[in-house]
Structure 1
């Protein structure tokens, strides 16, 4: 089969699709990954066929990151033409041979591209977004809701899609020659199926979902071929007890200095060593300390099994890596689906209660609480590592595409 995979977003949105493309290739299929061109350096070492697409929208995201709600609202006017540029670049793939298009919904135009090609499309989700259930609220809803409102909350997903519908409809007609209205993502998922790319041990299928929505497992991406850890990192790991990993991924804060100082003081209070990952800027380089190492980025699949526990933001990619590593977690969620996953790992008994406010003392206390959950995390890690989400996703794509 020829499989076109389309995704966009942060590194955490792209990595699982690189893993999926590798799995498809290993199974004898031809997979092409279409994603923002800034991820070319991420993709290249894995020898995945890469179609680089416009990524100018990221410039606006970088511009307003950490500047507050007003800046974000003002930036919306700039985003729409840049999203149209993304869609126009996506349309250049319309004559590429493919048997199926596998896509992340935030790409907006990928299922329409499949319509133009005359092939099946299959949504791939790392977060449940388009399959309503009464058993939990839509994960991106920012407030806790009473159980009676769970199913109603799923209408928010359609509302998030709404601002782009007019632009997508125009683009569909002008760039793809497909007149008329098209189904929304909720309808497409209901009719065409979905790849739910998370572990059923993290979030099992609720009773009111169809069996076809059963979660397949995580899509982990190993460290790139030939990658070697920096000598200062291996030396630090060898010189003492396993450290605490602290990283907040793509989160950007207004005051990285204060957050970094909070983390360092919490580590001092607990007497623990730490590895800090600066990520997109939530943390910054700290003053030199023998018990703390600051890194830009290190593959989670390599580093986390060598740590004692993980302090992070609750992104599902980091949750997955910590679960696979078999280490307990401390989660300080910031936005989006992060509070949802923070509650899930706590409910599983592998994480401290989610932190709503980060202070040296609250973080130190949460670290101690996470330590008490270490054995449960190790046991669950053994079970999660036995899953093969990539192989399961490949089988699902083969069925959907007729391969």
Structure 2
């Protein structure tokens, strides 16, 4: 089988697809992974065939790093010509051969490449996005709604596509030569099927989803045994009790210095040590203080098993890494699906209530103390998730799906 995998976004969007490609390769298939060109070395290190995609939007994002919300909005206004170049790179994939296309929704072009090739398309989803349910509202809805409106709330997914629809329509016609009206990604996914790449122990399938949509388990790479921590980080971890990890990933805020000061004060009030990861700029600490180590980033699969708790933004990649590490979590959501995962972790008993609204040092310190009492539940959940093989389950479903369309 020749599976074509298309993903766009940050490392958190690429790494699960790389794990899936590795699984397909190990099963005797010949996957091609198309992803932003900056990840070529990462993919090559795992022996997976790679097709580079334009990554100007990631470069633009990096240029706004740490500049706050206003800079992020300004950067977003420059996206349209970059989007066309990204789609054009995807169009070149239609010149090759594929038996099935597995696409990240951020790619925008994935289902239309499958349409051009005449092969089935499967959406590989890291969060619930396209299949409505009455069990819970859409995770990307900015507010929670009464249960009676849960199913209706999923219509927001089509609205998210609206800003890009005209560009995709023009590209589909000009670059792929496809005629007829443009069908939305939402309708194409409903027809082609999905792979839900999270653990059923974290979020089980609701009763009104078909069996084929049940979550496979997380798609994870094996630990990177070749990564060596900076000496100062390794020494800090060895010098005392496991610290608290604090990092907000690619989230941004208007006052990164104030947020960092709040975090440092909360750590002091809790009587604990901490590792602060500055990430994309939501945290901008000043000089290091006693008991606080500042880094830009470190592999979660290496670092999180060495900490006492993880304070983060609620992105599903960090959620998954912390669940696997068996550490309690404290979530300060910023946007998107982050409040959904924060509420879910709290319901599972591995995180205190989400930290919404204005964050104070006192509230965060209290949450850190509450989280410490949840460590046994976090270890139990980690054991259950460790028994899953999400990649193997996904590989089997892809093979079944491709076979059913031949």
**Which TM-score bucket, shorter chain as reference?**
over 0.9
Partner of 1:381: 382
Structure 1 Cα separation of the partners of residues 114 and 225 of structure 2: 32
- Asked whether 1:106 is paired with 2:106, we answer yes
Q: State the Cα distance separating 1:68 from its structure 2 match.
A: 6.8
Between the aligned partners of 2:224 and 2:182, the Cα distance in structure 1 is: 39
Please give the alpha-carbon distance, in whole angstroms, between the structure 2 residues aligned to 1:376 and 1:84.
47
2:205/2:215 contact within 8 Å kept: yes
Structure 1 position 32 matched with structure 2 position 32: yes
Query: Which residue in 2 is equivalent to 1:232?
Result: 232
Structure 2: distance between partners of 1:286 and 1:63: 21
Who is 2:397 aligned against?
Answer: 396
Displacement, 1:97? 1.9
Contact 1:245 1:307 in 2 (8 A): yes
Please, what is the CA RMSD of the aligned residues?
A: 1.8
The answer to whether the 8 Å contact 1:24/1:31 transfers is yes
Matched with 1:330 is 330
Displacement of 1:373 in angstroms is 1.1
Counterparts of 2:132 and 2:66, CA distance in 1: 32
Task: Give the CA deviation at 1:69.
Answer: 6.8
Q: TM-score, normalised by structure 2?
A: 0.94
**What is the number of equivalent residue pairs in this alignment?**
403
Is the Cα–Cα contact under 8 Å of residues 222 and 302 in structure 1 kept in the other structure?
Answer: no
Q: 5+ unaligned residues in a row in structure 2: which ranges?
A: none
In 2, Cα distance between equivalents of 1:191 and 1:229: 46
1:71 is displaced (CA, Å) by 5.9
Cα distance, 1:185 vs structure 2? 2.3
CA distance in 2, matches of 1:401, 1:162: 30
Hey, what's the Cα distance between the residues in 2 that align with 1:69 and 1:366?
26
- CA distance in structure 2 between the partners assigned to 1:223 and 1:40 by the alignment: 19
Provide the residue aligned with 2:310 in structure 1: 310
Taking structure 1 as the reference length, what is the TM-score of the superposition?
0.95
Q: Is residue 128–residue 196 contact of structure 1 (8 Å, CA) maintained in 2?
A: yes
State the shift of 1:44 in Å. 3.3
C-alpha distance 68-284 of structure 1, shift in aligned 2 (>3 A): closer
Correspondence for 1:160: 160
Given that 1:222 and 1:299 are in contact with CA atoms closer than 8 Å, whether structure 2 keeps it comes out as no
Q: Which runs of 5+ in 1 are unaligned?
A: none
Moved more, 236-245 or 131-140: 236-245
The Cα shift of 1:36 comes to 1.2
